[in-house]
Amino acid sequence: MINQLLNIVKPKVTEAFNFRDEEFEEFGIHLKKEIACIFGRSLAIRVVDSGSDNSPEIELVNLTAPYYDVERFGVSFVASPRHADVLVVTGAVTRNMEIAVRKTYDATPEPKFVVALGDDACGTGIFRDSYAVLGAVDKVLPVDLKIPGNPPSPKEILKGLLALMEKIRRNKN
């Protein structure tokens, strides 16, 4: 009986919810400036699942949800590798997906950049020694940036994209 009364009078979890992540906003604004300097338009990303447990994909979808709304920073996800600037590969590359990953990479126009997202894609995940797995993405494709985590948070993904833009700018100059 006392628990029911306490449920009524104690502050609710949602009352203390912060609807704005200031650090995420800073990274996003900085990323938008970098994308504009490098590409002069938005950044198009094609996600390739090469054998993941779907946790990185969930975080990528969270980026497009209203809370994060990454498209306002100039980042969009595309359905075709022919429209992509960046390939984000999630999961360790399985033997069944090797050809598909290579074909997707080949279909992406130059200049193309590859990001390995998540522990499995970086080669440190739990599937790394499986008989069905070739290994990390860098065993199949040239990887420009690794974003570790199981899964990496949307903020870590945004930081990784920012690091990729800074790397591209350094190599351009």
131-173 per-position pLDDT tens digit: 999 999 999 999 999 999 999 999 999 999 999 999 999 988 7
Q: Domain for residue 1, yes or no?
A: no
Task: Kindly report the three-state secondary structure assignment for every residue of 23-68.
Answer: HHHHHHHHHHHHHHHHCCCCEEEEEEECCCCCHHHHHHHHHHCCCC
Q: Find the domain containing 50 and state its range.
A: 22-166
DSSP secondary structure code for residue 95 in this structure: G
Q: How distant is the alpha carbon of residue 132 from its chain centre?
A: 24
Q: Do 68 and 37 contact (CB within 8 A), yes or no?
A: no
Provide the pLDDT for residue 15: 58
Q: Domain for residue 12, yes or no?
A: no
Task: Over range 74-82, report the average pLDDT.
Answer: 96
3-class DSSP state of 105: helix
Q: Domain for residue 74, yes or no?
A: yes
pLDDT at 128 > cutoff 90: no
Q: Domain for residue 79, yes or no?
A: yes
Q: Domain for residue 92, yes or no?
A: yes
Q: Domain for residue 131, yes or no?
A: yes
Q: Domain for residue 5, yes or no?
A: no
> Which domain CATH number covers 142?
3.40.50.12280
Provide the pLDDT for residue 125: 87
pLDDT at 17 > cutoff 60: no
Q: Domain for residue 9, yes or no?
A: no
pLDDT in tens, 93-125: 999 999 999 999 999 999 999 999 999 999 988
pTM: 0.86
